[in-house]
Chains A and B, each alone.
Chain A
Amino acid sequence: MAVSTVYTVLSLNSACSISKPNKTHLGFNQKQLVFFKKTTTITTTRRATTVITCSAGDTVVIGLAADSGCGKSTFMRRLTSVFGGAAEPPKGGNPDSNTLISDTTTVICLDDYHSLDRTGRKEKGVTALDPRANNFDLMYEQVKAIKNGVAVEKPIYNHVTGLIDPPELIKPPKIFVIEGLHPMYDARVRELLDFSIYLDISNEVKFAWKIQRDMAERGHSLESIKASIEARKPDFDAYIDPQKQYADAVIEVLPTQLIPDDNEGKVLRVRLIMKEGVKYFNPVYLFDEGSTISWIPCGRKLTCSYPGIKFSYGPETYFGHEVSVLEMDGQFDRLDELIYVESHLSNISTKFYGEVTQQMLKHADFPGSNNGTGLFQTIVGLKIRDLYEQIVASKTGAPLEATKA
């Protein structure tokens, strides 16, 4: 351990945050400087340790737009699982916090940036979907700070009480995910995102999922569920839906086409729409990149049960952008179907053969584990890991370039 005496620190690089740990654990991390300060008071000599953490701004920021609430469990847990470790709410803090933290990833809920609490929104006649209920200035400032390696005190919106609670400290993680209704609404925030995803659920599927979610509740009925969706639709279409044109990846969930006159809503058709030309992001493809493919894996080598599985892949245009679309209709019934499909996909950024299958099995009890939603969420997680590693590699590569010059 190197010890040197430092006398004054007038101003710190904005990329540094200061914390006073209660216990001096002195676990060394190359980015930490431990300041050991002696203070003499009249009666005692106290020693204070201040730890200054400079994280050199290597936080990667991901935006996820989704309608149904935060801690949206399934997608987030799959994503954090890809990086390793389980995401937990911050220990010992506000139990109604919406934040999830794992070793590498922190996920925050953008509802925390509501400028109006439930009463305020009622008074102004404004839904949570409305930009007027959200403080985009604060959102931008704080996401920018995190990206630059500075910890922030972020407000907490309490979904139970409908009030804005005292803030919690968010420290810059390796991967910072902002999840909610408006991650891509404000242009300044959009600029900060290294990658963005929009979860586009079709009306029919949304209705089916909400019935699944609410039908058992005492106060709800089909009518109330339907009325709630319809009442929110105008604001949703005006403020939330347009964000999908900005997303680097869109996961679109539709009813199946495999079952004629299907009215069960059990089998889903999921499309992974991937923008071309996004830095560090190479779209997943089937067989031959840039061509158009239609593939039914079930046949001689693989036996599937009804209604089977159908894939398609091809280039398309989406809101004026060039995109590649990978689509899966149907569902997996057996492990070998999953591994067979995985072995035929390219550019999935796995670190070993079978990684996608392994990740899917890990969360086999989560909804979507047997269809395209789970599959594509897992793949997007792997692509984000790949993107993160490329960004970090490019940053460490830069100083070497400078010394060579």
Chain B
Amino acid sequence: MASSFTLTSLNPCLSFRSISNGEINSTKKIMIKMSMITPSSKDGTRSKAMKFKGTQMREKKLTEMIEQKVVEANQVCGEDETSDECKVAWDEVEEISQAKADLRLKLEKLQQDPLESFCQENPETDECRIYED
């Protein structure tokens, strides 16, 4: 799976001056410098913290869902940008993106698999099989 931090390939621009209240200008003016972004952990670090099959499955599922829901949102909003359906579609994208980010944070910053304590009590479940890269 692609590393979460393939940021070396990015060079979008972010200009605060041109961002007025609520409006975000054309993407050509958006720029982010590398220094702003939290230093990436190497893939090795992440695999070390990920211990159980269940976590790997969750991560995979969330990644797929993000892709899928972004496509859906673009579709729905293409029909009517101001509709409730459009709002809800992007809200779902936000929810899943945040869930994925929370998982990533636990694995990378806290260096623990979220299923750790659950698997101590239930080692026989499918989710608690040891994950091997």
| A residues whose Cβ falls under 8 Å from a Cβ of B | 68-69, 71, 73, 88-89, 91-95, 118, 121-122, 125-129, 159-160, 162, 203-204, 207-208, 210-220, 222-224, 226-235, 255, 261-266, 365-367
Contacts and interface: CB of A to CB of B under 8 A. Distances in A.
Interface residues of B, number: 70
25 contacts: A95-B115, A127-B87, A159-B99, A207-B24, A211-B14, A211-B30, A212-B36, A212-B37, A215-B7, A215-B10, A215-B32, A216-B3, A219-B66, A220-B97, A224-B73, A226-B24, A228-B91, A228-B93, A230-B22, A231-B77, A231-B87, A232-B94, A233-B22, A263-B15, A264-B33
Nearest to B94: A228
B109 to A, nearest CB: 6
A93 B31 CA distance: 43
Nearest to B91: A127
A216 B87 contact: no
Question: Which 10 A-B pairs have CB atoms at the shortest separation, nearest pair first?
Answer: A125-B84, A219-B67, A231-B90, A69-B98, A127-B91, A159-B99, A92-B121, A219-B66, A95-B118, A219-B70
A212 B13 CA distance: 13
A366 B117 contact: no
B4 A226 contact: no
Interface in B7-56: 7, 10, 12-17, 19, 21-22, 24, 27, 30-33, 35-38, 54
B22 A203 contact: yes
Contacts of A71: 102
A224 B6 contact: no
Nearest to B70: A219
Given A213-B101, A222-B27, A235-B87, A266 B33 contact: yes
Given A204-B19, A219-B71, A266-B33, A226 B66 contact: no
Nearest to B109: A365
A95 B16 contact: no
Contacts, number: 177
B14 A265 contact: yes
Contact of A231 (B22, B37, B86, B96): B86
Contacts of A69: 95, 98-99, 101-102
Contacts of B105: 73
A266 B34 CA distance: 10
Interface of B: 2-7, 10, 12-17, 19, 21-22, 24, 27, 30-33, 35-38, 54, 58, 61-63, 66-71, 73-74, 77, 83-102, 105, 109, 114-115, 117-118, 120-122, 127
Given A127-B88, A222-B27, A160 B117 contact: no
A215 B15 CA distance: 17
Nearest to A88: B117
Contact of B63 (A212, A218, A229, A263): A218
A128 B91 contact: yes
A339 to B, nearest CB: 25
Given A91-B117, A212-B36, A217-B97, 20 more contacts: A91-B121, A92-B118, A95-B114, A95-B127, A128-B91, A160-B99, A203-B22, A207-B14, A210-B97, A211-B14, A212-B37, A215-B10, A217-B63, A218-B66, A219-B69, A228-B90, A228-B93, A229-B24, A263-B13, A263-B14
Contacts of A234: 87
A204 B30 CA distance: 11
Contacts of B63: 217-219
Contact of A222 (B7, B12, B114, B120): B12
Nearest to B54: A95
Given A216-B4, A219-B67, A227 B77 contact: yes
Nearest to B19: A204
Contacts of A162: 92, 95
Contacts of B17: 261, 263
B34 to A, nearest CB: 10
Given A219-B70, A220-B70, A226-B24, A263 B31 contact: yes
A208 B90 CA distance: 18
Contacts of A93: 118
